Amino acid sequence: MTNEGIIGKLKWFYDKWFEVMLRPIYFFTVMKEESWQDDSLSFLLASAWISAFFASIMLFIVSYVPIGQYMIAGIAGFKFLVILPVLCVLAFNFFMITFLIMGGMMVCGFFVAQAICALFIHSVASLWQGKGELNRMLQSMFYSNAAFMTVNLVFILMLVVKFAGLGFPMFKVGYNLIYFLTLLFVYGLWSIIIRKNYDLPKWKSFIIALIPILVLLLFGLVFDKIALSKFEPWVS
């Protein structure tokens, strides 16, 4: 793909992201129905790979750079210049391996999570006399993945906390704040999607959207108690 093609794709992604985040009612009202395998899936994949890029940068700085510094300790001057090309090649290879692994994980995670939520919401809305189609719901949910790009703020927060020496408790507060605000925004976003796609009244849309949000909130609480502490060595 040419540089113009990459820049064009990024601009397309940014324009869609901007519309979803700042004008969700308008976006999902005028959204042209098409197969979920077309632009909406491209948007989901783009968001996954962008998030993977930020995650790879974070892992590279936190994990690989200290290892590299240890390996070249005591090497300076001409000797360092001799091994510099090798270090650059190794660094690039490790980064690309990490990027590809993280990309695969992000793609699978985003796709499966959004698809399951779409199927669940479609089933409940249909039982509640909703008139929408599953294809449009999948399409809408893939675009709603724009809200989960806040995961990149977590990666940035990890680096800020680590190098500013703020400590793990500060990271924990920041992470939980980002997670809660993201769910709050997604709740409103999914309520809009349900109302637009299934022609349901607002109160029904809010109730249906609340169910998966409560599940995600419960998951966040469990993750905070059990798994979040595993990240302490990376930010301390």
- Per-residue model confidence as pLDDT tens digits over 20-44: 999 999 999 888 888 888 899 999 9
Give CA–CA dist 41/61, Å, rounded. Answer: 30
Q: In this model, does residue 188 exceed pLDDT 80?
A: yes
Give CA–CA dist 26/17, Å, rounded. Answer: 13
Q: What are the residue ranges of helices labelled H in 145-167?
A: 151-164
| Mean pLDDT, range 137-154, rounded to an integer | 93
Give CA–CA dist 114/95, Å, rounded. Answer: 28
Task: Map out the domains of the chain as residue ranges.
Answer: 33-235
Q: Is 28 in contact with 192 (CB distance < 8 Å)? A: yes
17, HSE (Cβ side, Cα atoms, 13 Å): 20
| pTM for the predicted model, two decimal places | 0.88
Output the pLDDT for position 163.
83
- Per-residue model confidence as pLDDT tens digits over 147-160: 999 999 999 998 88
Structure tokens at 12: 């397309």
Q: Is 216 in contact with 164 (CB distance < 8 Å)? A: no
| Mean pLDDT, range 166-177, rounded to an integer | 88
